Amino acid sequence: MVCSNFWFKRIIVLLLVVITYENVRGQSWMPGYNFRKKITIDKSMIGGGANLLDFPVLIELEDHDLKQSTGCVHLSKNNKELDISFASANQSSLPINFQLDSYDALKGKLVCWLRIKELIAIGNVGANEFYLYYGSMQTHNPLSAESRATWGNAYQNVWHINPDLAPATTRSANQSSGNDMIGDPTMSLTNFHQGKIGSGLQFNGLTTSMQAAPDTNVNVYVTLWLKLNQIGAEQVILASDTLDNGFQLTIDAEGFILFLGRKSTVALVPDIWYYIGVMYNSQRKEIYINGVYKSGDAKLNFPTKNVGRLSIGKSKQGDRYFNGMIDELRMLRVARQKEWLGAEYRNQLNPTAFVNISSQEMNPIQIPLVNEFTGANGTNNWADEGNWSYGKLPEPYANVNIKAGKELRTPAGNRVMVNGLILEAGARLLLGGDLEVNCKAHIGLSSSIALDEGIRLVFKNDVVNNGAILLNENIGTLTFGADQSLQTFSGSGSCKVSRLEIDLASGTVLLQTTIKVSKELALIKGILNANGNLTMLSTGPGNYATLMPIQNTSVANVIGNVIVQQFIAGDFLAPATARNWWLLSSPVYQSLTEPKWYSLNAIQQSIFVTGKGGVNNGFDLSPNNNATIYTHDQSLPGSLSQKYISIATMGSNVPLGRGFYVFSRGSKTEPNAYVHQIQTTPFSNPKPYTLSYSGKLFTGELRVALHNRNTGGEGDGYNLLGNPYASALVWANLQKINVGPFLWVFDTKNNAYRVTGDPEYIIPPGTGFFVKVSNGNSSGELMFTEQAKYGAAPATFSRRISSIEKVTNLAQYDEKSTLKITLNKEGLSDDYILTLHPSGNNEINDADAAKIGEGYLSISGLATNGNKLSIDERATDTGRRVIKLFVKGWTTGAYTLKFNATFNNHEKLTLIDHYLNVEYPITTDESVHHFSIDTEVGPSYGKERFSLLLEPVKITKPINELTDKPFLFYPNPINELLYLKAVNQTWRNLKVLIRTLSGEVVWRNELAVLEPGIPVQLSCSQLMKGIYILQLIDQTRNKTITSFKILKN
């Protein structure tokens, strides 16, 4: 409502009554309004000496008392409604007709049309005084019958040219919808621009126009504001001509107005607003510009009847268009004299100079501007009228007060919009549908707002929460959506929500009390100043709040400190123990300058951190001062584990984007934690606990430089990184340069590293992980971006191709076979993944992922050099091959191998159990194999127990009916080996040549037979790097069959 600071005014009403009573004593007051201002029209602005009857005055006020910083305006579906009214000063309690044109709540700017019964001109007795009333439960609808009556019978049609309905309809201000001005197909809301009075219509002179119902008057009386964009050609402003009837109002090529054979005496100039009036009846034909007569003549002939539909912006024939703007178009039933047109011109040219406004007066009897829910009918039903103090349901954007101790439920599925909201002490509001609060909300002591699943609660103004806001923890949204520069959330209460959304018109939300978020924080538009009062919860494995991707960090962002929780699992069953190492990263940072870094204080606040130098270096007291926090340095020699370096002091900082390795003894808040975790053995197996980081949330882009000793050492290329966001990341969406396709995380439960190449792998916030720079490169880069966050739109991804990605001519065929073997026992597991691919290599390269650490149980494949691989890519081959497996368990007993296989039907896989001397065929889909380990018997585990037998399967039918090529070869580019395969038939006596681009033969081979579906392996290691031509020749016919261009790496 316009009555700004409404709640404050209620509190001080008694004081104001005393102050203002003498000022208004003896004066009548319009019932239902709390405030008013006297407005006086300057007589000198009327001119002419004659009083004007039923004159529609344009009122334009911009006043501090009308300013509503909250933007609390009544809104219906299509119109703005406002709690204002007008009355003449000599009958100050009786409303007079007016029509709202627009209201800007932030500026306190009011534009409306007021019907003055008699506008007194200079030199005449009387004053042009009236009152503007505001602050009420009563609202004004600009399209109501009372509002339309502002124009009286003298007006056929009035169009304020406001964009009322999409795509381009401006409603008649004084008639029914059948008289609306409707845009042609080329018009849209984009054609509405700032006009002379509010909005105006822009016409392009080529295709744009509007249509309206016929003007049925015999006479023609038209007024409007117009502004030309250019001259040089005849332009039609209005046309109603049909055959020999109707009229045209046009502009000629020189800018003169033409109307029914008359031409104005002055020309219009582009880019200047003009007030135009044309009159035509049996006595006269006249043209007025800015209220001054500019052409016409006396009675010429009888007027012609207008029967055609009104065209605005083009001729009826469609051959002449208007290039400019039109505003405030009126069709009248009566002619206007020059005094009237002159007064209208001066009023509309400068409406603020037309009136004077007094200071605010206050009604000594204040009207409560609130609809109170009393529950008088004994139910909690919003829709029960008897539960409301006014005996009727609140209108949209009413002020609502829920009385102390009462419970109110809104209708399920219905959106409720209120202005102000008060919950008195002990009140309870249950939301079955969305609720939008446009003005200030006050939640009293012990009161609460609770939401059903999926409900949205929107606050568009300040909130004082001394009670509780409880949104459904699975689905429920709290939105701050103010259009003011600062929106605050304060109070002594509690607030826990599933999703917190910031979607402001502009400005900042300042949290002055705590909000806890369990699922999502979404920054859409505006700034969130967390101010240390935002907590992002983590309540269990995989249950954590995440900062959603930000589309534009210059439009939406977060400042101030945020508390981000991280759940640390515990209570592991033996042999596992949560007293172990963890790879972590901070989801917040503390640095004020670049480069960004984070401290490790949050870790020490939750667990005991020991290190060299003990308490002198800021560590916790310990008998041995063993280091328990490490970072990682790739430049050091040795294996991955040998490159860890302990932090020197607790004052050490870690660069944002890097991770750390920490030994957790459990939460230091546990009873007798020091005794059970450090001082006395046996040490406790930690229970789950929560780390709480406090700092700033990182948003935007972060580039992290990667390094590689590149000496061929076991630990070369590994870099310890950390998720820098309080957000989950998708591995494939991280942008990479010279980085392998795998990441390694530490499986605390199995006490070993676990590797994955799954593109959709989710990296939770607070996670540290290793990546590896590709072999042969001394450096690389990984870039964290908003688009890499889980939940980012796939269409916005912009990935950089890793140096190890391969491009082959087999992209359209499924040539890949995959076998995943999972070793399980009592909740512990480990994986080995074997991939067979035409572009694979039987030697170790960047397509393979090393097994790092063995843990309690372990499975891996053994390369030819004996190295253990967790992910093992091999070449599709023509012969039988055996791949040795390594399996390990921590105790004697039963174990399980689970197989997930996807074959291309080119290979047959068999598991060989050498200990039991049996073979088990591996089929597609899933299968399980049970076996036992005896830790006292060496052959029952280790590298001698199992192996995989791979055998090619001959294909007797065409391998791919989609290709018309007789041969396939791969890979391309070539590294060491080239595979050649016939598609549909058996070939004999083939010669294979490789030539340079100049035609020189640099490699040759002969094939006695090449059968369809069985590839032949050819070694090309002797070729130098470059581009070559592969040529296949049928020696029987001495004819070249096909040629391919190949690239040798």
How many domains, in total, are found in the chain?
A: 6
Are residue 599 and residue 708 in the same domain, yes or no? yes
Which tens digit of pLDDT belongs to each residue from 331-385? 999 999 889 999 999 999 999 999 999 998 988 886 666 789 999 999 999 999 9
DSSP states along 741-752: S-EEEEETTTTE
Closest CA to 989 of 1038, 1037, 1036: 1036
In a domain, 538, yes or no: no
Are residue 900 and residue 992 in the same domain, yes or no? no
3-state SS class at 344? helix
Q: Give the DSSP H/E element, type plus range, for residue 133.
A: strand 129-134
Q: How far apart are CA 201 and CA 217, in angstroms?
A: 25
Amino acid of residue 435? L
For 463, 482, 563, 893, the CA distances from 493, given in Å and listed in that order, are: 11, 21, 18, 56
Q: Is the pLDDT of residue 895 over 70?
A: yes
Are residue 621 and residue 760 in the same domain, yes or no? yes
Q: Is the pLDDT of residue 473 over 80?
A: no
Are residue 183 and residue 304 in the same domain, yes or no? yes
Helices (H) and strands (E) in the chain, counts: 7, 81
pLDDT, greater one: 126 or 299: 126
pLDDT of residue 838: 76
Are residue 464 and residue 453 in the same domain, yes or no? yes
In a domain, 541, yes or no: no
Among 302-316, 655-669, 902-916, 991-1005, name the most confident range.
655-669
pLDDT of residue 169: 87
Angle 229-233-238 from CA coordinates, rounded to 5°: 70
- Beta pairing, strands 129-134 & 155-159: unpaired
3-state SS class at 679? helix
pLDDT of residue 13: 36
pLDDT of residue 300: 54
Q: Give the DSSP H/E element, type plus range, for residue 338.
A: helix 338-349
- Determine contact, residues 42/343, Cβ cutoff 8 Å: no
Are residue 816 and residue 777 in the same domain, yes or no? no
Dihedral sign (CA 842, 761, 664, 830): negative
In a domain, 561, yes or no: no
Name every residue whose Cβ is closer than 8 Å to that of residue 998 and which is 6 or more positions away in sequence: none
In a domain, 527, yes or no: no
pLDDT, greater one: 196 or 144: 196
Angle 457-461-466 from CA coordinates, rounded to 5°: 70
Q: Is the pLDDT of residue 573 over 80?
A: yes
Are residue 278 and residue 377 in the same domain, yes or no? no
- Determine contact, residues 636/645, Cβ cutoff 8 Å: yes
Are residue 980 and residue 923 in the same domain, yes or no? no
Among 287-296, 506-515, 624-633, which stretch is predicted with the lowest mean pLDDT? 287-296
pLDDT of residue 268: 96
3-state SS class at 542? coil
The owner of tokens 């459904």 is 472
DSSP structural state of residue 470:
E
- Beta pairing, strands 35-41 & 129-134: antiparallel
Which tens digit of pLDDT belongs to each residue from 955-993? 544 444 434 578 887 788 887 788 888 887 888 888 888
Distance between the two ends of the chain, CA-based, in angstroms? 74
Which tens digit of pLDDT belongs to each residue from 144-157? 889 999 999 999 99
Closest CA to 821 of 947, 991, 671: 947
Are residue 302 and residue 176 in the same domain, yes or no? yes
Q: How far apart are CA 78 and CA 71, in angstroms?
A: 17
Q: Is the pLDDT of residue 553 over 80?
A: yes
pLDDT of residue 14: 33
Q: Is the pLDDT of residue 816 over 70?
A: yes
In total, the chain counts a number of residues equal to: 1049
Mean pLDDT, the chain, whole residue set: 88
**CATH number of the domain encompassing residue 280:** 2.60.120.200
pLDDT of residue 64: 78
Which tens digit of pLDDT belongs to each residue from 14-73? 333 333 334 444 469 998 888 899 999 988 889 878 899 999 999 999 887 787 544 454
Section 559-571 average pLDDT: 97
Tell me the three-class secondary structure of 659-687, residue by residue: CEEEEECCECCCCCHHHHHHHCCCCCCCC
3-state SS class at 145? helix
The owner of tokens 């780390």 is 691
Amino acid of residue 675? V
In a domain, 767, yes or no: yes
What domain range includes position 741?
Answer: 576-674+694-805
pLDDT of residue 929: 94
Answer left, alpha or beta for residue 854, where phi above 0 means left and psi between -120 and 50 means alpha. alpha
Section 316-322 average pLDDT: 93
Q: How far apart are CA 127 and CA 111, in angstroms?
A: 22
Domain stop point among 461, 493, 508: 508
- Determine contact, residues 312/258, Cβ cutoff 8 Å: no
Section 306-316 average pLDDT: 85
DSSP states along 389-410: TTSSPPPTTEEEEEPTT-EEEP
Section 112-132 average pLDDT: 91
Q: How far apart are CA 982 and CA 1010, in angstroms?
A: 6
Domain stop point among 508, 533, 564: 508
pLDDT of residue 809: 33
C-alpha torsion 939→943→948→949, nearest 10 = -80
Q: Is the pLDDT of residue 12 over 70?
A: no
In a domain, 174, yes or no: yes
Section 627-631 average pLDDT: 98
Are residue 892 and residue 835 in the same domain, yes or no? yes
3-state SS class at 633? coil
In a domain, 539, yes or no: no
Angle 741-734-591 from CA coordinates, rounded to 5°: 125
- The confidence band for 954, taking pLDDT boundaries of 50, 70 and 90, is low
Section 153-178 average pLDDT: 87
- Determine contact, residues 430/412, Cβ cutoff 8 Å: no
Which tens digit of pLDDT belongs to each residue from 988-1045? 888 888 888 777 888 888 888 888 878 888 888 788 888 888 888 888 888 888 887 8
pLDDT of residue 306: 59
Q: How far apart are CA 164 and CA 151, in angstroms?
A: 19
Q: How far apart are CA 917 and CA 750, in angstroms?
A: 30
Q: Is the pLDDT of residue 291 over 60?
A: yes
In a domain, 135, yes or no: yes
Name every residue whose Cβ is closer than 8 Å to that of residue 866 and which is 6 or more positions away in sequence: none
Are residue 436 and residue 488 in the same domain, yes or no? yes
Q: Is the pLDDT of residue 237 over 90?
A: yes
Name every residue whose Cβ is closer than 8 Å to that of residue 688 and which is 6 or more positions away in sequence: 540, 567, 568, 569, 570, 571, 578
pLDDT of residue 484: 84
Are residue 209 and residue 307 in the same domain, yes or no? yes
Q: Is the pLDDT of residue 475 over 60?
A: yes
